[in-house]
């Protein structure tokens, strides 16, 4: 246990105490309490600056540190490798779910477009449209027939040309 002197030295300083006049002790009655153990011991606290001290290189500690880093890296790699399949399954599930949602949306859009097409190609609608545009049925001499040997081939026969097709 430190005495009161070390506490005072931290605030006042040793020089100021050295310059102070010595205390005069008067003889009094001996106290009835026991003296405190080691009260007369003075512990001087000196501040030590270790900023210039350089630690000696320890090859064993360096090897142990390298092994610890390598072990940690391998352990982290194994944990990540174990979690990759689960993460991939989750991501694939999200992708599948979004594709199914897009499929239903596209099916709904296709049904709407087919309904709109059927509505536009309806005979009554076409008749109303032709009347509003003042269209009339063509005369028989204005009609041209297409002849073909196969379904994918068609030749245009002009009404006033000969019946023989011309070779190009």
- Assigned domain for 11 exists: yes
- Assigned domain for 104 exists: no
- In this prediction, residue 154 carries a pLDDT of 64
Structural domain harbouring 45: 1-21+35-49
- Assigned domain for 13 exists: yes
- Our count of domains for the chain comes to 1
Calpha distance 115→165 (Å, rounded): 42
Calpha distance 67→62 (Å, rounded): 9
Calpha distance 125→67 (Å, rounded): 83
- Assigned domain for 12 exists: yes
CA distances to 7, 13, 44, 46, 61 from 10, rounded to whole Å, are: 6, 6, 10, 10, 39
Q: Decide: 126 and 136 in contact? Cβ < 8 Å.
A: no
User: Of all residues in the chain, what percent carry a pLDDT higher than 70?
Assistant: 70
Please check the confidence at residue 115 and state whether its pLDDT lies above 80.
yes
- Assigned domain for 168 exists: no
pLDDT tens track for 49-76 = 988 999 888 889 989 999 999 999 999 9
Pairing of strands 155-156, 146-147: antiparallel
- Assigned domain for 66 exists: no
- Assigned domain for 151 exists: no
Please check the confidence at residue 153 and state whether its pLDDT lies above 90.
no
- Residue 40: which residues within 8 A CB-CB, separation 6 or more? 3
- Assigned domain for 3 exists: yes
Q: Which of 35, 34, 36, 45 is nearest to 8 (CA)?
A: 45
- Residue 158: which residues within 8 A CB-CB, separation 6 or more? 144
Q: Decide: 5 and 42 in contact? Cβ < 8 Å.
A: yes
Q: Which of 1, 75, 88 is nearest to 36 (CA)?
A: 1
């Amino acid at each position: 246990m430190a005495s009161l002197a070390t506490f005072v030295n931290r605030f006042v300083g040793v020089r100021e105490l050295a310059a102070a006049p010595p205390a005069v002790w008067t003889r009094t009655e001996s106290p009835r309490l026991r003296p405190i153990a080691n009260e007369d011991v003075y512990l001087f606290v000196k501040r030590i600056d270790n900023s210039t001290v350089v630690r000696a290189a320890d090859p064993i500690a360096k090897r142990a540190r390298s092994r610890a880093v390598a072990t940690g890296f391998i352990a982290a790699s194994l944990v990540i490798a174990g979690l990759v399949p689960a993460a991939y399954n989750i991501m694939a599930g999200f992708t599948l779910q979004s594709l199914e949602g897009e499929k239903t949306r596209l099916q709904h859009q296709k049904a709407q477009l087919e309904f709109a097409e059927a509505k536009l190609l309806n005979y009554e609608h076409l008749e109303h449209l032709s009347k509003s545009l003042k269209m009339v049925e063509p005369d028989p001499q204005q009609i041209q027939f297409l002849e073909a040997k196969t379904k994918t081939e068609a030749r245009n026969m002009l009404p006033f040309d000969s019946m023989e097709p011309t070779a190009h």
